[in-house]
Structure 1
Amino acid sequence: MPETAPSPLITNIAAYQFATLTDLKSLRERLVAQCKAWGLKGTILLSTEGINLFIAGLRPQIDLLLAELRALPGLESLTPKFSESADQPFRRMLVRIKKEIIAFGVEGIEPAKYTSPRIEAKTLKQWLDEGRPITLLDTRNDYEVKLGTFKNAHIIGVDSFRDFPEAVRRLPEELKQQPIVTFCTGGIRCEKAAPFMEREGFQQVWQLEGGILKYFEEVGAAHYDGECFVFDQRVGVDPALSETESTQCFVCQSPLTEEDQKDSRFVEHVSCPYCYKTTEQQMQENIAARHAAIRGATTPLPGSVPYDHEQPLNVPEACDGRTLLETLTTVLPHVPLAELQSRFENKRILNQDHQPVPPHHIVRAGERYLRLLPAMVEPTVNADIRLLHEDEAIIVLEKPAPLPMHAGGRFNRNTLQYILHQVYQPQKPRPCHRLDANTTGLVIVARTRHFAGNIQTQFAQGKVAKTYLARVHGHPTADSFHSEAPISDVPGALGSRDVDEDQGRSARTEFRVLRREADGSSLIEARPITGRTNQIRIHLWQLGHSIIGDPVYLPGQAVGDTQTLDTESDPLCLHAWKVTFTHPLTKQSAHFETTRPAWA
């Protein structure tokens, strides 16, 4: 078989020229058409201050483009830097019009009118061979420098060339009297960097003619370590101007040497030594972003802006066959009859089709109706939610107070669950257990229904160890004690519960005195073995040591008339302090602990 002729090498050129260009739109259209016709790819930047280009293609077509450009007034001396590659390093052909051909953002720096003295590559090598006392200033971005730079060069330390002016102002004052040679990839940045430094008071500034690429072309690797980053798919070229094995990280775009690619932290399309983060580091970054999102979702509080709210009402079995008005008086005993009648008159009691329903309508158990609450504004809450842990399965957070967990009563949007839904959407995180609105501390939240079911089962089976802190009235006589008082399952006024020795549900809480205070209070550690509503509060109340700040279970076995505290009230001194459970994903024991509140 006849041998296949080798594919011709691709010629790569990089060039720029500061000159006054006009009629940029028509020039752009002409260059786009010509470059595409000639099979060229790359980028040409046009500006009223000149041209900057990186183009690749076959040499005859490259020569046609250069002839076309040199025919333009001001570009007669356009001098490119050449290199060759086996493959086309660009994906497409772009011609763009920009304010500057190299973004700098400083007025009054005009290379077409003035540039600093230039130093040829061979002269610089001679100076370095002689050991002259000069400072080589690398004006490139930090990520470019990773692939290589001149030996003993001063790295300016910028992420973008626009940061260069401020970086120059941070240079040591003594450098202003010393000879400085600025350099970059091809020289274009130094056309602005060096004059700017002169304007800032640096007295001996040169710019390396043609940059690193011209230096490689004329003198090779002398006094240079590594390779040179280039802005195309080659990523890096060596002092022979040949493409290297360097690549770029898919995630952070950092250039990576062969050595970088051997690092255990380099995983293609996932991470590299420069962007790799441990699980803990990544989680902390995620949490910081979530905290910002929480602030955004709660400023202002979502329930502080008036809105029309439809509150559902399910007909209980006991109300089957009654009128809707009778049902409402049963289900909502705290709402005056006159107010309920007014809601019917104003057509604010609706069926599921959003049609008004009369008060004499007969209801059936299980049916659902809606109470329309127009222009609803919810009470203010404390939304300073602090995340402690987040992974694919769970969120562990510290709930502030007052903040209800779920919608109910006067609260719908100013709740923990609503706020989390806004922050994590389209996910709808589910709290796996309850804390009273006035209780602070740890809450476990599942990110999916599956994980919620796993953790809720652990709670139901008593496999979750919970420890609370409580500040109580009085000094218990024993250092350790417990309560097994059964707790009613039927809510009383304001949803409160009571001890019910006959029909109450079994409950057990173990207590330990941590500290007895001189003011007559005590700091208690509470471990609920079961999980009844208000269990810790009721057991301490029943034992004669009600929790300080509790608006419901008052000293002397009294019951208060306030359910949820306002943000100005003294706090309920009950805090979910520690929790241990089995992680639903890893199946390992997970333990979390918060800092103690100020009152503890």
Structure 2
Amino acid sequence: MSDVVNIAAYRFASLCDLKPLRERLLTFSKEQALKGTILLSPEGINLFVAGERTAVDSLVALLRAIPGLEDLAPKYSESEGQPFRRMLVRIKKEIIAFGVPGIDPARRTSPKLPAKELKQWLDEGRPVTLLDTRNDYEVKLGTFTNAVTLGLDHFRNFPKAVDSLPPDWKERPIVMFCTGGIRCEKAGPYMEQAGFQQIYQLDGGILKYFEEVGGDHYQGECFVFDQRVGVDPALSETDNTQCFECLTPLTAEDQADPRYVPGTSCPYCFLTTEEQMTRRIAERQAAIVAIAVHPPGSVPYENVRPFNIPLDQDGRTLLEALTATFDHVPTENWAAVFAEGRFVDAGGQPVHPDRIVRAGDRYEQRMPATVEPPVSLDIRILHEDEAIVVVDKPAPLPVHPCGRFHRHTLQNVLNDVYAPQKVRPVHRLDANTTGVLVLARSRHFASRIQPQFEDGRVEKRYLARVEGHPSQDRFACDAPISAEAGEFGGRTVDEGGLPARTEFEVLERFADGTSLVSVRPLTGRTNQIRIHLWHLGHSIVGEQSYLPGRRLGEVQTRGIDDAPLCLHASEIAFVHPLTRELVTFRAASPAWAVQ
């Protein structure tokens, strides 16, 4: 004889004073060492509870004393152990989620067909359609022979599934069924409202059918919502279990599958490494799209920018330290900041530009009601794993906070998407340049990748559309590039600058006087490709800084509505920090490169 008695019961009735009733039932159940779940709502009660027979009987007596529950009729089964971990009593809007207003089983349901009568119909071969109203994962363990299933993943989808049934079914006799009958109490009236003329519901569901007539005309077992997972027609627990991850019931054969890892995966939810990455990337992309709807820098905020006094500015005035450190910012700009009291010390007090500063002192520039220029947030994730993230960066979009951009940056957006982790770009792309960018997911992995860039071991390829037709199909530029920013904040060719080399190959010469070139930078100087092409007399189409005729423009970051800078990081190859193997990532060519 089993030690534990299980009951499943529901009753549609108008219930009130649910909070005190909840406390009463929870206290009673714990005193009686009962475990399971009781759902209460204004429309009735639904419960699965297990414990010793005397405790279960006491609970049933208590429930039947509640007005409206006098006829509560539990279905009993037995198990060798307690199938529930704890006792829960919850208040819900519905005791079975359906979401269709106007369905009130306490007032009216479809005609109920007793189990013995259904068996007789099936024994006689009477023409009848059996309709399983349960979810797919429940149907997997078993159902009536030739029953129609609806492919449901949630009972809320039942109305939509009914709407797609053939019109001639509205005149057929249909017997619907579920585990214990509760879903049919709502499904039946809905089908009748939809015009189905001969609807019956199996009284007490599959469990009552097993109890009264056994397993005739039924194949398999019945899924139950407790640790037993499934019961056979004798209402005995089977050897099936349930996947912790996707909740699919698993047969003995499923459990023998190597993809079944208890608590992690099963044959129905197991994903390969590549499939897992695809799913994660899809989730990240959805988060990026959500951020792009309300860009973080489009709402006014106070932008606070810290400034730590460099060692070489020790003993100078604050204004001198600022103009020396930010030599591209006119002195009169700083004068306005001080006049408005927006430069403050560590205590938040405005400071005078003539204050003598010491190395390491910290100050802040406060910029109230900051609204950043719009940028493109069409960021596409190409790859991610435990160590790196690779994206196809749009333009205009700065990678790091700089100038007018603090929140409208690639790094800020990705830090939101990958929070609490902070990703780190391991190389640079201009705000106006599109294409492949690599980020590390920790300082440790960044330290394994960045030296490859510094040592020139990373293979990078770019596409550029340039003004004019180069005279040679292959050519190179070795012009040195200035180490410091010059006029308008840009760098230029400087005979005393840093060595740099870029190799070019013409891919196509267009009739409009422009050319498409493949670019291979062998060094990584700031703006190197743009400067070398400008120096050679082939400025990039769309340039606003390095203009034809070796002129310099004043614009560093383009506007969202400006024509694109036709420079695209198309390919990058480096040694992966985990696998130690060479990996290559590519970004699709932009429209200007394929015209």
Please give the range of the TM-score, normalised by the shorter of the 2 chains: over 0.9
Can you give the 5+ residue segments of structure 2 that lack an aligned partner in the other structure?
none
Question: Counterpart of 2:477?
Answer: 483
Question: Counterpart of 2:556?
Answer: 563
| Corresponding residue to 1:409 among 403, 407, 415 | 403
Question: Counterpart of 2:178?
Answer: 184
Question: Counterpart of 1:93?
Answer: 87
Determine the C-alpha separation between the residues in 2 that align with 1:220 and 1:200: 33
Helix, strand or coil at the partner of 1:280:
helix
Helix, strand or coil at the partner of 1:190:
helix
Question: Counterpart of 1:526?
Answer: 519
Residue 447 of structure 1, CA deviation: 1.0
* Poorly superposed stretches of 4+, deviation over 6 Å: none
Helix, strand or coil at the partner of 1:599:
helix
Matches within 5 A, 1:198-217: 198-217=192-211
Question: Counterpart of 1:283?
Answer: 277
Letter in 2 for 1:200: A
Matches within 5 A, 1:296-311: 296-311=290-305
**2:577 equivalent to 1:588:** no
Q: What's the CA shift string for 1:247-291, capped at 9, x where partnerless?
A: 222122222222222222211111122222222222222222222
CA-atom RMSD in angstroms = 2.4
Residues 297/78 of structure 1: CA separation in 2 closer, same or farther (3 Å cut): closer
Letter in 2 for 1:544: G
Residues 434/23 of structure 1: CA separation in 2 closer, same or farther (3 Å cut): closer
Residues 174/370 of structure 1: CA separation in 2 closer, same or farther (3 Å cut): same
Residues 107/491 of structure 1: CA separation in 2 closer, same or farther (3 Å cut): closer
Residue 456 of structure 1, CA deviation: 0.6
Determine the C-alpha separation between the residues in 1 that align with 2:325 and 2:38: 74
Residue 124 of structure 1, CA deviation: 2.2
Residue 72 of structure 1, CA deviation: 4.8
Can you give the 5+ residue segments of structure 1 that lack an aligned partner in the other structure?
1-6
Question: Counterpart of 2:544?
Answer: 551
| Corresponding residue to 1:376 among 367, 370, 393 | 370
**2:496 equivalent to 1:509:** no
Matches within 5 A, 1:433-448: 433-448=427-442
- Give the paired residue count: 593
| Corresponding residue to 1:156 among 145, 150, 156 | 150
Letter in 2 for 1:286: R
Is contact 1:386-1:398 (8 Å) kept? yes
Residues 432/20 of structure 1: CA separation in 2 closer, same or farther (3 Å cut): closer
Is contact 1:298-1:419 (8 Å) kept? no
Question: Counterpart of 2:247?
Answer: 253
Question: Counterpart of 2:381?
Answer: 387
Determine the C-alpha separation between the residues in 2 that align with 1:328 and 1:80: 80
Helix, strand or coil at the partner of 1:91:
coil
Is contact 1:413-1:419 (8 Å) kept? yes
Q: What's the CA shift string for 1:474-502, capped at 9, x where partnerless?
A: 1111111111222221221123222223x
Determine the C-alpha separation between the residues in 1 that align with 2:137 and 2:500: 62
Residues 61/484 of structure 1: CA separation in 2 closer, same or farther (3 Å cut): same
Residue 170 of structure 1, CA deviation: 1.5
Q: Percent identity?
A: 63
Helix, strand or coil at the partner of 1:395:
strand
Q: What's the CA shift string for 1:275-329, capped at 9, x where partnerless?
A: 2222222222222222232233344332333333333345556655443333333
Helix, strand or coil at the partner of 2:400:
coil
Greater Cα offset, 509-518 or 317-326: 317-326
Determine the C-alpha separation between the residues in 1 that align with 2:84 and 2:283: 36
Greater Cα offset, 9-18 or 60-69: 60-69
**2:215 equivalent to 1:221:** yes
Greater Cα offset, 444-453 or 421-430: 421-430
Residue 436 of structure 1, CA deviation: 0.9
Residues 428/61 of structure 1: CA separation in 2 closer, same or farther (3 Å cut): closer
Helix, strand or coil at the partner of 1:458:
helix
Determine the C-alpha separation between the residues in 2 that align with 1:429 and 1:596: 25
Residue 100 of structure 1, CA deviation: 3.7
Determine the C-alpha separation between the residues in 1 that align with 2:350 and 2:43: 71
| Corresponding residue to 2:49 among 39, 52, 55 | 55
| Corresponding residue to 2:228 among 234, 249, 258 | 234
Residue 28 of structure 1, CA deviation: 4.4
Residue 209 of structure 1, CA deviation: 1.9
Helix, strand or coil at the partner of 1:545:
coil
